[in-house]
Amino acid sequence: DVKVTQSSRYLVKRTGEKVFLECVQDMDHENMFWYRQDPGLGLRLIYFSYDVKMKEKGDIPEGYSVSREKKERFSLILESASTNQTSMYLCASITGGVQTQYFGPGTRLLVL
Amino acid sequence: SQQGEEDPQALSIQEGENATMNCSYKTSINNLQWYRQNSGRGLVHLILIRSNEREKHSGRLRVTLDTSKKSSSLLITASRAADTASYFCATVAPRGATNKLIFGTGTLLAVQP
């Protein structure tokens, strides 16, 4: 079975802190995604990556950056956390040619 | 940009009843997928229907797709309390080389025992 793991289930940070969210998949998938999920807004794509060191902006990239140094790991970085970045963050991965995404359990981030 | 809109936003039924959720989308698609999310957890893929398919079954799930109306429905038959979750539709654009999914806002299903 595909396994996608995220470094933390719950995270509390202060405004202005730099925050790293890590995602690891164990199935050699090329494509990886970061979403945020907010009530009433569904899932919105922040960034995605289709290969090592490659990244593309999603629908709401402002305030975020990403890093993909290894195929199995995709990191989401909040350079200076703000309260409006309080949300549920979901990572997903997919292999090329197959269009079903596998999701991690999510990280619930609270920025105070 | 949001592609799918689910209807209803919330649905409460009794165990054993059928649950129907609808999804409308705006642009052409390669396929449409349904996902389930238990409270506070990640999403789990349920079923995928391609643009040239009209109906698909998987266990107690039945999905229909009407590309002329840009809509899809998910039917869960003989519902169980364990089906309580949020359900999302998601679309993939034609020739979507990056496999990018666009999600709807979801339907919250509550199945009362």
Contacts of A25 (CB under 8 A, 6+ apart): A2, A3, A4, A5, A32, A72, A74, A93, A102
Whether the link from the prior residue into A105 is cis, omega within 30° of 0, is: no
For residue A4, which residues of chain B lie inside 8 Å, CB to CB?
42
What is the domain range of residue B57? 5-112
Task: Dump pLDDT digits (tens) for A8-61.
Answer: 999 999 999 999 999 999 988 888 999 999 988 889 999 999 889 999 999 999
Q: How far apart are CA A46 and CA A37, in angstroms?
A: 10
What is the domain range of residue A78? 4-97+104-111
- The CATH number of residue A29's host domain is 2.60.40.10
CB pairs A-B closer than 8 Å: 66
pLDDT band at B62 (very low <50, low <70, confident <90, very high): very high
The shortest C-alpha distance from B7 to chain A (Å) reads: 12
- The confidence score (pLDDT) of residue B52 equals 94
Q: Across the strands, what pairs with B33?
A: B48, B90
Q: pLDDT over 90 for what percent of chain A?
A: 79
Residue B1, pLDDT above cutoff 60 = no
Q: What values do phi and psi take at B15, rounded to 5?
A: -55, 135
Q: How far apart are CA B28 and CA B51, in angstroms?
A: 9
Residue A5, pLDDT above cutoff 70 = yes
- The confidence score (pLDDT) of residue A42 equals 85
In this predicted model, which residue has the larger pLDDT, B6 or B112? Answer: B112
Q: How many domains does chain B have?
A: 1
CB proximity B83 to A under 8 Å: no
Where is average pLDDT lowest: A78-87, A95-104, B63-72? A95-104
Residue A83, pLDDT above cutoff 90 = yes
- The confidence score (pLDDT) of residue B95 equals 63
Task: Dump pLDDT digits (tens) for B2-13.
Answer: 456 788 989 999
* Nearest alpha-carbon partner for B33 in B113, B111, B110, B96: B96
- The confidence score (pLDDT) of residue A1 equals 66
- The CATH number of residue B51's host domain is 2.60.40.10
Element spanning B19, H or E = strand B19-24
- The confidence score (pLDDT) of residue A41 equals 85
Which residue of chain B has the CA closest to A55? B98
pLDDT band at B102 (very low <50, low <70, confident <90, very high): confident
